[in-house]
Amino acid sequence: MEDFIKEVFIPWNSKAKDYDRCKRNMFEDVGLCANNLNSTCLSQLVNSTGVSVVDCTDGYVYDQSIFEPTIVTEWDLVCARGLSNAFTNFAFYLGLFSGSIVGGILSDRFGRIKVYRTVPILMFIAVFSGAYSPNVYVYSVFRFLSAFFEFMAVVAVYTYVAEITKRDWRITIGLGYNAVFGAGCMVLSLLAYAWRDWRSLEIAISVSILPLVPLSWLMPESPRWLCFKGRLADAKKICVTMAKRNGTELSADVWSETEKHYNSENNEQGKTNTNSLKETFSRPYTRFFIVAVMFVWAITSMVYYGLILNTGSLVGNIFINNTIGGLMELLADTVAIPVISFIGFTRTNGYSLFIASVTCLASTVALQFGSHIIAVQNFATALAMIGKFGASLAFGVLYQHTVEMFATVGRSTAFGLSMMAARIGSLFSPFTVQTNYEMPWLSPTIFGATSMLAAILALTFRETKGKELPTTFDEAERKFQNHLQGTITAKVFCLPKPSGNKSDDDQEKGLFSDQNV
C-alpha cells in the first residue's frame, strides 16, 4: 500500500531516475478518498480527476533511522534551500583557501612553530562554538573560521616536517603525516556512529583538538628557517639538542661549513627583494612551475573532496563507506612510500591521477547503464573507492613533492599558494556534487576529464627524489631551468632559453648536505 501511495502522489523524476523528493501530484478532488484510503479508491481518483505537479509546501519527512538531527533536517536545507547546505561546505573550503595562503606567508615570515602554537586554541573555539549555532548562516561563519585556522596549522607544520627530516626519511615521514588523515576519517566514522546528533558530534570533534595545544610547545623551530633568517646561534642550539637526543654530537667542522654556506646565501639574498610572493613570480621557470603545481592541486582537490562529499550518495552503509574511504587514504599513503622509492614523485603523481580519471569515467558509464541494478551499483561504489585511492595517492604525493621543489626562503609561500589553489578546486566540489540529483553523470564526468589533464601536466614536474632541497630563489630557478632545458614543455610555454650548459645543481654544503641531512 505504501508503495502504491508513493506511486500515485509522488511524480517520477526522469533525470534522477527516482521519485521526486521536492514535488507532489495535486489532484482536483483528493477528498473523494478522505474516508476510504485504499488502492481501489486511489485508482479511481487517478483515472477520474485531473492532476498537476506542485512543490511540497507542508514540510518534509526525513529518514532518521541513521542520524538524529542534522543541519539538513533541523533547518530544512533541501529542495529550494538545498544550496544553503552546499554553501556551508563552500564556507568551509573558503576557509581552507584563505588559511592556506595566510598560513604560508606568516610561517615564512614569523616561523613555522609560532604559527602552529597560535592556531589550535582558535580552531577549538571555532569548532566548539559552531555546535551552538542558531541558524545556517552563523554555522557557516564558524565553519569558515575552523577551516581557516586548521589550514594555517597544516601549511606551517607540513613545511616544518619536510625541513627537519633527514633526506632518506622525507618520503616516509611526509606521507606518514598524510596517512594520519586517513586514520582520522576512520575515527570520525566511529564518532559519528556514537554521536548521531550533529551538535554532539561537533563538540566531540572540538575536544579532539585540545591535545595539539601542549604538543606544539614541545616542538623547536625549524633550523633551516632560522639559518635562512640569519639566526645561526639559535639554530645551533636546536641542532645541538637534536644531536644529543639522537645519541651523537654536532661536529664543529660541519657547523662551520653550515655557517659559511648560509652566510653566503644570506648575503646574496639580501641583495634581492625579500617579498617571497613577488620573488616566486618574478622568475620565469619558477613562475611556470608554481602555476602548473597550483593547477594540478586545484584539480586533485576538486576530485578528492568531491569523492568525499559524494560518499553519502553511494550505495551501502554510510559509516562503512566513510571508513573504507579513510582506509583508501591510509592505504594510498602507505603504498606511495615504496612506489615513490621505485619510480619517483613525478610518475607516481601522474599515474595516480590517471587512475582517478579512468575510474571516475568508468563509474559514470556503469551508473548510466545500470543505475537500478544492485550489482552495478556495488561495482560503481567500488570504482569510486578506487578513484578515492588514486586521488588520495596523488594528494599525498603532491604534499611532499611541492615542498621539495621550491626554495626554503619561499617554501611555505609556495606550499600556501598550492593549498590556496587546492581550495579553489574544493570550492567547486559541493556544487558539482549538488548536481547529482538532477544529473548524476555530471560530477564524475567532470572529475574524470579534469584529472586526465592534471595527470598530463603533473608528468612535467621536476623529480626531487634523492635531491637536495633548494635554499634560495636563484638556486630553485636553476634547478627548474636544468629540468626543462630543451624539452617540448619549455617550447610550448615559450620559456626563455637559459644561459650556460645543463648541469647537476643539487649539491648543498654543511649540516644539510648529503652526508649530514
Please state the three-class secondary structure of 288-322 as a single string: HHHHHHHHHHHHHHHHHHHHHHHHHHCCCCHHHHH
Instruction: Let me know whether 296 and 246 are in one domain.
Output: no
DSSP character at residue 18: E
pLDDT digits (tens, 9 = 90+) for 200-233: 889 999 998 899 888 888 888 888 888 878 888 8
Higher-scoring residue by pLDDT: 179, 18: 179
Task: Give the model's pLDDT for residue 510.
Answer: 47
Higher-scoring residue by pLDDT: 339, 8: 339
Alpha-carbon distance values, 72 to 86, 136, 197, 314, 498 (Å): 10, 9, 12, 18, 57
Residue 505 lies in a domain: no
**pTM metric for this prediction:** 0.66
CB neighbours of residue 256 within 10 Å:
12
CA angle 117, 119, 120 (to 5 degrees): 85
Task: Give the model's pLDDT for residue 516.
Answer: 47
Mean pLDDT value across residues 340-351: 89
Q: How many residues does the chain have?
A: 517
Instruction: Let me know whether 165 and 30 are in one domain.
Output: no
User: What cell numbers appear for 203 in the block?
Assistant: 563538540
Q: Is residue 257 within 8 Å of 509, Cβ to Cβ?
A: yes
Rounded Cα distance, 164 and 239, in Å: 10
CATH classification of the domain holding 422:
1.20.1250.20
Strands 51-55, 18-19: pairing is unpaired
Task: Give the model's pLDDT for residue 337.
Answer: 84
Instruction: Let me know whether 33 and 85 are in one domain.
Output: no
Identify the domain containing residue 77 by its residue range. Answer: 71-219+272-492
Rounded Cα distance, 306 and 432, in Å: 7
pLDDT band with cut points at 50, 70 and 90 for residue 15:
low
DSSP character at residue 485: T
Instruction: Let me know whether 90 and 214 are in one domain.
Output: yes
Residue 61 lies in a domain: no
Q: Which of 298-307, 316-325, 444-453, 455-464 has the lowest mean pLDDT?
A: 316-325
Instruction: Let me know whether 39 and 18 are in one domain.
Output: yes
Task: Give the model's pLDDT for residue 445.
Answer: 78
Residue 36 lies in a domain: yes
Give 158's strand partners: none
Instruction: Let me know whether 195 and 233 are in one domain.
Output: no
Strands 12-13, 18-19: pairing is antiparallel
pLDDT digits (tens, 9 = 90+) for 426-464: 777 666 665 655 666 677 778 788 888 889 889 989 998
Task: Give the model's pLDDT for residue 44.
Answer: 63
Q: Chain-wide mean pLDDT for the chain? A: 78
Mean pLDDT value across residues 43-59: 67
Q: Which of 22-36, 123-137, 328-342, 396-410 has the lowest mean pLDDT?
A: 22-36
Task: Give the model's pLDDT for residue 142.
Answer: 94
CB-side neighbour CA atoms (13 Å) of 300: 34
Instruction: Let me know whether 413 and 277 are in one domain.
Output: yes
Residue 64 lies in a domain: no
Task: Give the model's pLDDT for residue 98.
Answer: 84
Q: Is residue 510 within 8 Å of 257, Cβ to Cβ?
A: yes
Rounded Cα distance, 452 and 467, in Å: 28
Mean pLDDT value across residues 183-187: 83
Task: Give the model's pLDDT for residue 260.
Answer: 79
Instruction: Let me know whether 230 and 91 are in one domain.
Output: no
Contacts of 369 (CB under 8 A, 6+ apart): 376
H helix and E strand count, the chain: 20, 4
CA angle 411, 416, 420 (to 5 degrees): 150
Residue 122 lies in a domain: yes
Q: Which of 271, 305, 331 is the last residue of a domain?
A: 271
Instruction: Let me know whether 249 and 370 are in one domain.
Output: no
Q: Which of 271, 290, 314 is the last residue of a domain?
A: 271
Q: Is residue 425 within 8 Å of 300, Cβ to Cβ?
A: yes
User: What cell numbers appear for 511 in the block?
Assistant: 649540516
Mean pLDDT value across residues 24-34: 64
Mean pLDDT value across residues 36-49: 63
Instruction: Let me know whether 243 and 282 are in one domain.
Output: no
What are phi and psi for residue 18, nearest 5 degrees?
Answer: -160, 170
pLDDT band with cut points at 50, 70 and 90 for residue 144:
very high
Residue 60 lies in a domain: no
Looking at the structure of the chain, the number of domains it has is 3
Mean pLDDT value across residues 492-497: 81
Instruction: Let me know whether 196 and 245 are in one domain.
Output: no
Task: Give the model's pLDDT for residue 148.
Answer: 92
Contacts of 43 (CB under 8 A, 6+ apart): none
Task: Give the model's pLDDT for residue 426.
Answer: 72
pLDDT band with cut points at 50, 70 and 90 for residue 509:
very low
Q: 86-114 burial, b if ≥16 CB within 10 A, otherwise e?
A: bbbbbbbbbbbbbbbbbbbbbbbeebbbe
User: What cell numbers appear for 10 in the block?
Assistant: 509522488
Instruction: Let me know whether 225 and 344 are in one domain.
Output: no
